[in-house]
Structure 1
């Protein structure tokens, strides 16, 4: 669980709140124990074969009948020579294109037949320093044996067939193409300064297009022979397995692997120290945000976390950055915030360097102010430190999260353990186990004093080994400081005169007076699915499903018909943003900041929402804090806080976020696509403009919010998780039964948003990189029912198998391609089926035709029998795990009630799956793939396109070309 690489996320759990006096006593009496080594949990079996291969084995039954397999290779792009740039990653791709025991793409096909989904359950990644292969398998039949054979082949039996290599070049180049753009161009400029003097700056995992297109087979083979060897490998097995039998399997399968006679040294590459400040200011016409990054790099390489003292020191670091993040979050809530988002973090930049890092996204013409504010916060901490109340509160907050992790220790997912063991192998991250960590916190964290935390500022914040990066859009009228001006800001803010932070008092309760409880007037139990439906005296319905899937989790959602569809266009802009405004404003007399501070030691969260057709809430809590969850819901329902400053902050931040969004071709394309699909309906999608934000009015927004939650009588609440129904009854009667009810009759309105009819093909031009996006959408009306929706989704699953096989693997034309179906009952019964993919501009038409060809094959023949069996097996395996997930049940119950369906039908999935036939899906394909009614929208670059695709001389730089239905190419 202890992860140096992700300290900003995980290490916040290493804190405890006790009095300062007791903390001092612990600090003085525990020195001997602090020198002890961090133990390793005895729940994982760790071993090393004679050839040096390390293995980790753990029995874990969450989820049941599943196993997580990993092959971790301590080798990545950092080890490539100049002729191998990108080949560590290319080799990862080749692992799925033929091995000693699986020809070409047979490996993927066999696993799909066992219900394994490519991308979700079968995947891999390559980074600078490692390559990791991941498999999640059912433990039934011979699937686990096949999985181990695959790992064995990956470790020492890749085919690396020349024909397959050449085919895969196209796929990897398409992945390279996706990464091109403003962020890539700016990164290429600032990386040499950020990683000053380091090999990392020249070894990005994706490599170079030149190498990917031209490397010879032997060059790839040499990387495999040099670095895929047992002393650099680990096999991780976690799941519903027999550890002793698994150890024997690993020994037999991997024990014969041999290291090279003259093995090359696995060198670590440092990021060299520099005694000055490096500054990089980069701009790009397609950049979307103004970004500031400050790196204060540690002088030395990270030390291994070996002793309990090291463990304790990491907690001090977490407290520092955690409390600073709380301060930064407060600043974003100002009426005129200096940044839209900001964060602090201390941890690894790459494996061999740690740094104190500050990051912020700031408004246009706000770079100087944003940077000064970040530096001012540094100075506040350096000169005055944090306060005792901040420290006490943050310890409470972290303890609450940590207790939840401890309480869930018996229901921890196998993939989380697998990830920990990968980090232990690659980065020497300790794995003492949650039980030890929990006891450690209780004993040692009281000794962390305010003085210890505050002194980190002097240690971390200095002008040596520092890098300042500014990224900004290249835009008329926007001021971007020069590198020299950035240096001036850095110098001016050193020892600047600042005032100390003042901490607000924390509220003692959410409710001084409890609401008058309602009563339960009706109760209905559905034994088949274990739910209890209550009707309260004010008309509210409550559906309760207690589960034992998690030991410390309760999920909630609630909805009512109406949404912002009930308002005319004039009030739409205020109504659609009112939920976000209230979420930023708080409840009753508590601001969002004050509310966060009150909830620091509680695991409860509620968010109101107002959608197109419904309004409601989503939330979660632990059993201990479920009453807080209900109190928050009551307050958001009845007393949302009206805060003019929060309103100004909300509008300012959103204006800044959306100011340059459409300069990015991807967002521009998505905006155009939404508007085309809705026929330019002002409420049909697309990103809001600066003028749209001006239409949001303070009083109007709160009036819309209060109107949506003025009547609880048509609300249905759903609770799924660890609770007792009888204990929940009085609480829901108290907090939900007391909600106001006027018994008004209302529903949503059909706004008339419809896609265009007939065949519509349009080309959108934006950007300079040679890359395109294609979206093909088939639409129409349908008679909605559960069975029809199931058939349609099964058809799309079968189609996806063929799209990957034909478009990615055989044609090598895309990195990723996928189809999705959306059958909808409301606001009118209709469907859409969308196929989308990125590709090279010159391949748009060819690949589009290939997609149409696969669809027509489905119409002519239906899916192949082997593909149908893959779909059925995947659905069975998914349902096996879904039915043990709280979130799945929450979503399923909510949708069943929303659509007026019988929720018990979810358990009839075997019958539904068995009913699928190739002939039935063929009929479905002919019914819903209507070649007389589809919309095809393709993105092309403004430059570098063929003459046929280029816009005319007088076309605007941001253009859309419409093609009449039925015309030729």
Structure 2
């Protein structure tokens, strides 16, 4: 054995890995410079081209999901291009695209799309940024007329928005309400620190939402001028990915978009810079509604454009640096006296802008921890700069990266169309690579090995410099929050650069999850539901296993497990401990491995399992690739048999929550949610209100560990459901080994009804909180009811009809809200009941008018039911949803678990179609009368505090 091999072998033993993996981090590979100079190729599966007028198109056939396509219109124009008199009009123009075009008058566009099953907001949408505007249109493709009309919609968005004066004026209120809905501490503070972060740049003056003054008073011609100047073919791309014929689609795009001429006398589409600066800039911003201190440390850099294969290789090195440092920060976060609550670092574009990159650290701290947090993150940066990362860190992270790419590669034939369409939009707008996973996977296999530790380590000196440095501190405006001055910030950064810092030690205390294989159980019973392709096993210890193999995704197996009981079985004195129990135990790791040790052992494996204890049940959820199914089952076994108890991790838990909880109620939204939960459950201890520091003081580690062992000490009443790409016969031995060996005492238990109930009659509550001129409104109907699948579906359909009606009434007609949330649910346990909730934000002066309009719509539905057009929209959306759910592992997992939980015979997901087809207007009327009773509801309104 030569000396070099001996060194590699010894390192491999210490790390619990292979000689080949150690060599992966150490062996430099010479890559021909000429090859790395080659441009990054575009995915060969996409057809792209440019029309004579300058419009770019991307088209790709992709069958996941079937009979669906994702369409995008990307416009290389956003708020940065607005004149002073147009602030907010890039975003306003996006809104107007839904309010009248040449071929779709007023709301016809939304009405048509809803009629073919496309929901407004949930599916159909758009967004405006500083530099771009993107329209999002997912559609069914099983009918040619839908494809043709959808392309006509994209064409109208691009060239034929009408901007009728009356519609512009109606939309002003909607835009103002959208701006109002976003007003909170984070946005107010951003307005204050953006001028520092974007110093001397136009980006500081062009937040896409705009200004009230312009939004309320701009002349109609201003928005028409913006549209005319910037919505033009040379600044646009049409992207279509899905279950389509590429040749036919290309011809349709050429016919639809090629008939428009290139714009004459065009304005130059300038790029706007974020200027460099030598000094360190500091912004310290307070807001009394902020919930905890936050800190940003940015080192601004010139944008790293990804053009060549060499650029791609360099990005791999950057990704490794980011990932390894984040793992170090995660370890610090898990200390008993952690220096911050959360922390992360990244090298990416500054605030998502193409104008500038930044090496950035983000962290949150407790009230007194800002100085320590800043010092720690600055020292960790300096530690890497001075000492670099270790061989073992690089080995492990390379293994993780390779596994990640391998997962995506193995799933390549079932990749969702949305993944591709987003890549092509980014390729058009920001020249981001869109090579396809086949090329990426081969590229990383070829080049990952050659990226050396020295190559990664040298990045720190490039990134961590004194020029172009910005520190942003945001915090609650209260005396107990201790913040450094600007001079102190600069002193901390200077001290970190000369601090006595030792190299990081990468400790590895375990090399495998399990040293010994458990003694396997046996299969006591087996049955099949042939119609559903489901196999049910009962193991010798009583564990029930439900198996549904699918071919929906090549590289996915999902697991869910449950048992009746939950924390309802524990006394009120134990309640706060019980609710936190699963988190406390999870933070502590497994067996003799801490959470940090566990992460290291799991490097390169694609499996995870998490345990939960909710009010009525306990259980687990997990996910794995077929290759790592056994690892997921080993984790499952250990979750039952070897929970780890750690005082240090418990103290870290307490430190984090003691930092989070004190100021949560400073946020009006948190306060509103807390008060609503209390009112809805008559201030029940277990009613879901936000926990406090006083509640945290009642949490006990020993009791948490006892509760966990009690809940997971008997597997005999657990049901496991597996859905995904596996063979039943091949997985049986693993199930017998890891689930059949779980402890079993065969006790009989059920959950307990803890007595939470909504108040009866009409209950109104007025709250006062917040400085923004914004009111929050919640109207809730809830009561006991006899459950049936039919009634449950009628209630859900009623909520969808109500959503359509309130959008048209409160938003489009009155202009009083940006959006309205409507939700409905039924519960069978611990007692049969329902809840129907309506909520929105609005101007305080409009609350009464909007509430009255809401009740008016309810009464219309009670009297006349749904109009046929609205009913048709809801039914078609449900048909389409069922159609896609039939090919989704997650939907089958949920459906099967629900059936077994409630003791029902499992059925196919599309059996619900019978309920959909039978739904009529009278059902909606009956549901509205039954559930939305005007003598039994809760109304909570939170208005802002009076002006000082």
User: TM class, shorter-chain normalised?
Assistant: over 0.9
Q: Distance in 1 between matches of 2:489 and 2:704?
A: 40
Structure 1 pair 24/726, CA: closer, same or farther in 2 (3 Å)? closer
1:727 has 2:744 as partner: no
- 1:385 maps to 2:381: no
Question: How far off its partner does 1:570 sit?
Answer: 0.5
1:695-706 → structure 2 map (5 Å cutoff): 695-706=698-709
Give the distance between the partners of 2:571 and 2:922, measured in 1 at CA: 46
Change (3 A) 1:548 1:217: same
Number of the residue aligned with 1:922: 925
Give yes or no for contact 1:519–1:537 (8 Å, CA) kept in 2. yes
Q: Is the 8 A contact 2:304 2:357 kept in 1?
A: no
Separation in 2 of the partners of 1:447 and 1:377? Answer: 26
Distance 1:835 1:236 in 2: 36
Q: Distance in 2 between matches of 1:429 and 1:440?
A: 16
Check whether the contact 2:672–2:942 (CA below 8 A) recurs between aligned residues.
yes
Q: Specify whether residues 702 and 169 from structure 1 end up closer, same or farther in structure 2 by C-alpha distance, changes over 3 A only.
A: same
**For the residues of structure 1 that align with 2:31 and 2:756, how far apart are their CA atoms?**
70
Distance 1:264 1:775 in 2: 47
Could you tell me which residue of structure 1 aligns to residue 690 of structure 2?
A: 687
Matched, 1:296 2:267: no
CA contact (8 A) 2:198 2:204 kept: yes
TM-score normalized by the length of structure 2? 0.97
Q: CA deviation at 1:370?
A: 0.6
1:607 and 1:25 mapped to 2: Cα distance?
37
The structure-2 alpha-carbon separation of the partners of 1:910 and 1:469, relative to structure 1 and needing over 3 Å to count, comes to same
* Equivalence for 1:962: none
In the TM superposition, 1:556-575 aligns within 5 A as: 556-575=559-578
| Equivalent position of 1:447 in the other structure | 450
Question: Equivalent residue of 2:86, what SS?
Answer: coil
The aligned counterpart of 1:210 is 213
1:157 matched to 2:160: yes
Tell me by how many angstroms 1:902 deviates.
2.0
Please name the residue that 2:715 is paired with.
712
- Contact map agreement 1:673 1:937 (CA 8 A) in 2: yes
- When residues 772 and 206 of structure 1 are mapped into structure 2, their CA distance, relative to the original with a 3 A threshold, is same
Equivalent-residue separation in structure 1 for 2:590 and 2:726 (angstroms): 26
> For the Cα contact (< 8 Å) 1:19–1:446, is it kept in 2?
no
Structure 2, unaligned runs of 5 or more: 1-17
- CA distance in 1 between partners of 2:276 and 2:821 (Å): 46
**Displacement, 1:914?**
1.1
Q: Distance in 2 between matches of 1:356 and 1:506?
A: 32
SS in 2 for 1:494: helix
Per-residue displacement from partner, 1:913-936 (whole Å, max 9, x unpaired)?
A: 111111122111111111111000
2:140 to 138, 150, 160: 138
Cα deviation, 1:57-105, whole Å, max 9, x if unaligned, reads 0011111111111100000000000000000000000000000000001
User: Quick one: distance in 2 between partners of 1:695 and 1:893?
Assistant: 37
Which residue is equivalent to 2:248?
Answer: 245
| Matched residue, 2:71 | 69
Measured against aligned partners, the alpha-carbon deviations of 1:449-490 in whole angstroms (never above 9, x if no partner) come to 000100111110011100001111111322121222212211
SS at match of 1:70: strand
Q: Which of residues 659, 664, 684 is equivalent to 2:662?
A: 659
CA displacement at 1:508 relative to structure 2: 2.2
Q: Size of the alignment, in residue pairs?
A: 928
Partners of 1:323 and 1:495 in 2: CA distance: 23
* Alignment correspondent of 1:950: none
**Aligned in 2, Cα 1:590/1:160: closer, same or farther, shift over 3 Å?**
same
Residues in 2 aligned to 1:101 and 1:380: alpha-carbon distance in whole angstroms: 62
Aligned to 2:349: 348
- Secondary structure at 1:27's aligned position in 2? coil
Correspondence 1:411-450 to 2 at 5 A: 411-450=414-453
Structure 1 residues 767-846: aligned runs within 5 Å: 767-846=770-849
Q: Say whether residues 1:762 and 2:765 are aligned partners.
A: yes
Give yes or no for contact 2:570–2:578 (8 Å, CA) kept in 1.
yes
Q: Is the 8 A contact 1:822 1:831 kept in 2?
A: yes
> Partner residue of 1:464?
467
Shift of 1:342: 0.4
1:320 aligns with 2:329: no
Distance between the aligned counterparts of 2:273 and 2:906, measured in 1? Answer: 58
Which deviates further from its counterpart, 359-368 or 476-485?
A: 476-485
The answer (yes or no) to whether the contact 1:340–1:362 under 8 Å persists in 2 is yes
Q: State yes or no: 1:367 paired with 2:373.
A: no
Q: In the aligned structure 2, how far is the partner of 1:792 from the partner of 1:118?
A: 20
CA contact (8 A) 2:25 2:398 kept: no
CA contact (8 A) 1:558 1:718 kept: yes
Matched residue SS, 2:84: coil
- Match in the other structure for 2:403: 400
CA distance in 1, matches of 2:273, 2:381: 27
Contact 2:534 2:546 (8 Å CA) reproduced: yes
Partner of 1:943: 946
Matches of 1:446 and 1:165, distance apart in 2: 58
**Could you tell me how far apart the structure 1 residues matched to 2:789 and 2:587 are?**
38
Q: Helix, strand or coil for the counterpart of 1:609?
A: strand
Alignment counterpart, residue 258 of structure 1, candidates 238, 255, 261: 261
Pairing 1:517–2:520 present: yes
User: What value does the CA root-mean-square deviation take over the aligned residues?
Assistant: 1.3
| SS in structure 2 at match of 1:512 | coil
CA contact (8 A) 2:72 2:137 kept: yes
Residue by residue over 1:506-548, the C-alpha shift from the partner in whole angstroms, topping out at 9 and shown as x without a partner, is 5221111111111111111111111111111111101111111
Q: 1:56 aligns with which of 55, 58, 61?
A: 58
CA apart distance, 1:25: 6.7
C-alpha change, 1:712 and 1:21, in structure 2 (3 Å) is closer
Deviation sequence 1:221-255 (CA, Å, 0-9, x none): 00000000000000001111111111110111101
Cα contact 1:506–1:598 (8 A) shared by 2: no
Conserved 8 A contact 1:229-1:257: no
CA distance in 2, matches of 1:479, 1:58: 55
Q: Is the 8 A contact 2:40 2:435 kept in 1?
A: yes
CA spacing shift, 1:531–1:558, aligned 2, 3 Å = same
2:781–2:936 Cα contact (<8 Å) kept: yes
Distance 2:24 2:666 in 1: 56
User: Which residue in the other structure is 2:936 paired with?
Assistant: 933
Structure 1 spans left out of the alignment, 5+ residues: 1-15, 946-969
User: Which whole-Å CA distance do the structure 2 matches of 1:255 and 1:18 have between them?
Assistant: 55
**For residues 236 and 506 of structure 1, do their structure 2 counterparts lie closer, same or farther at Cα, with a shift above 3 Å needed?**
farther
**TM-score scaled by structure 1?**
0.95
Alpha-carbon separation, structure 2, partners of 1:621 and 1:813:
47
Q: CA deviation at 1:127?
A: 0.2
- Output the CA distance in 1 between the equivalents of 2:834 and 2:493: 56
Q: 2:609 aligns with which of 582, 606, 631?
A: 606
Work out whether residues 36 and 310 of structure 2, in 8 Å CA contact, stay in contact via their aligned partners in 1: yes
* CA distance, structure 2, for counterparts of residue 422 and residue 17 of structure 1: 42
Between the aligned partners of 2:431 and 2:265, the Cα distance in structure 1 is: 26
Q: Tell me if structure 2 keeps the 8 A contact 1:774–1:838.
A: yes
Q: Does 1:884 align with 2:887?
A: yes
Question: Counterpart in 1 of 2:176?
Answer: 173
Instruction: Note the alpha carbon deviations across 1:767-818, whole angstroms, 9 max, x for none.
Output: 1100011110001111112121111111111111111111111111110102
Distance 1:304 1:371 in 2: 30
* Structure 1 position 176, deviation (Å): 0.5
Who is 2:533 aligned against? 530
Given that residues 882 and 913 in structure 2 are in contact (C-alpha distance below 8 angstroms), is that contact kept between their aligned partners in structure 1? no
Is this contact kept in 1: 2:26–2:391, CA < 8 A? no
2:113 paired residue number: 111
CA contact (8 A) 2:716 2:744 kept: yes
Q: Distance in 2 between matches of 1:189 and 1:120?
A: 32
* Secondary structure of the structure 2 residue equivalent to 1:140: coil
One of 619, 624, 629 as aligned partner of 1:626: 629
1:271-324 deviation per Cα after TM superposition (whole angstroms, max 9, x unaligned): 0000110011111110011101000001x3x24312111110001111111100
How much has 1:182 moved relative to structure 2? 1.2
Aligned 8 A contact 1:17 1:395 in 2: no
Offset, 1:168: 0.5
